[in-house]
């Protein structure tokens, strides 16, 4: 059998002063020729991390700095992976999730140390602050996306958001709908009477189209004889046009509206 180099064997348990196992740690030699360490709460988790680290080392991928914080990584991810590669709206949404929700809670945590408990705590905090289920889903999606890239780049051994779901609003404590009631609709149209935007308000109230879709409408999208309105594009926040979002499976298509 081939003998491993000193310090490059299986994972070993780490114990506290009472002799209880708290985690497992394994060592490997990186692409830089130096010894590095990975750890996990369980033996299986540590072994998986060690296998990934060795694979990355064999492929010449350097280990992620031990002091790389979540805030530093997420800021780099926004700049290197999102900005300029996706729409301005996507970038702004990810930036909002990161800077207003994630960083204030988890920003100082080491990227390699992020755990499921950290994310459960984040979602609980945001729920208790009164944020909607939809906001929690957005935050979760941004985190999963960023950490999936971190895993692909060899910065972490696994995606710690796997198996974690955002907290839902407690039954009976859901926020009231913000949709306008008939009286509010009448008040809005009365106040908008004579405004150059009254047609925009009427279209929005009767179709439920997104803001970008309404602002991108052209006269040739309207068929007065057939009484239909076609949505062919959406105006992005950076002033460019893009295709409208694909409707959910089973939902009514928003590509055409009939009178």
CA distance 127 to 135: 9
The C-alpha atoms of residue 151 and residue 66 are separated, in whole angstroms, by 15
108 domain-assigned: yes
This prediction has a pTM of 0.54
Q: Do 193 and 253 share a domain, yes or no?
A: yes
Copy the structure tokens of residue 141.
């999606």
Q: How crowded is residue 39: how many other Cβ atoms within 10 Å of its Cβ?
A: 18
- Asked if residue 235 is part of any domain, the answer here is yes
pLDDT digits (tens, 9 = 90+) for 93-140: 999 999 999 999 999 999 988 999 999 999 999 999 988 888 999 999
Number of domains present in the structure of the chain: 3
The residues of the chain scoring below 70 in pLDDT are 1-9, 61-66, 167-177, 237-238, 245-259
Q: Based on the domain organization, do 203 and 249 belong to the same domain?
A: yes
Q: Are residues 54 and 88 in the same domain?
A: no
Q: Contact 203/182 with Cβ under 8 angstroms? A: no
**Would you say residue 158 lies in a domain?**
no
The predicted structure's pLDDT at residue 118: 93
Q: 224-241: per-residue pLDDT in tens? A: 888 888 888 888 766 778
Inside any domain, residue 167: no
> By residue range, what is the domain housing residue 53?
20-58
Cβ partners under 8 Å of residue 74, min gap 6: 98, 102, 103, 107, 146
Residues 6+ apart with CB under 8 A from 129: none
Question: Cα separation of 28 and 8, whole Å?
Answer: 5
Beta strands in 163-236 (DSSP E): 222-223, 228-230, 234-235
* CA geometry: angle 199, 201, 205, nearest 5 deg: 120
* Judgement on whether residues 53 and 81 belong to the same structural domain of the protein: no
């Amino acid at each position: 059998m081939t003998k491993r180099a000193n310090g490059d064997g299986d994972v070993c348990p780490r114990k506290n002063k009472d002799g209880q196992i708290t985690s497992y740690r394994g060592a490997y030699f990186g692409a830089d020729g130096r010894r590095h360490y990975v750890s996990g709460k369980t033996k299986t988790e540590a072994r998986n991390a060690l296998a990934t680290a060795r694979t990355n080392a064999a492929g010449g991928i350097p280990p992620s700095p031990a002091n790389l914080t979540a805030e530093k990584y997420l800021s780099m991810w926004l700049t290197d992976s999102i900005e300029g590669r996706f729409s301005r709206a996507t970038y702004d949404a990810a930036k909002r999730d990161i800077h207003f929700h994630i960083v204030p809670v988890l920003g100082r945590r080491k990227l390699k140390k992020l755990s499921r408990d950290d994310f459960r705590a984040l979602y609980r905090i945001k729920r208790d602050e009164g944020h909607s289920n939809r906001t929690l889903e957005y935050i979760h999606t941004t985190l999963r996306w960023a950490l999936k890239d971190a895993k692909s780049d060899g910065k972490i051994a696994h995606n710690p958001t796997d198996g974690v779901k955002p907290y839902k609003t407690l039954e009976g404590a859901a926020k009231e709908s913000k949709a306008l009631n008939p009286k509010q609709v009448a008040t809005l149209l009365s106040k908008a009477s004579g405004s150059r935007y009254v047609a925009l308000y009427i279209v929005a109230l009767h179709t439920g189209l997104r803001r970008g879709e309404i602002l991108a409408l052209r006269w040739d999208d309207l068929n007065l004889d057939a009484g239909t309105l076609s949505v062919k594009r959406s105006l992005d926040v950076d002033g460019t046009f893009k295709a409208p979002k694909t409707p959910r499976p089973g939902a009514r298509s928003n590509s055409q509206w009939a009178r």
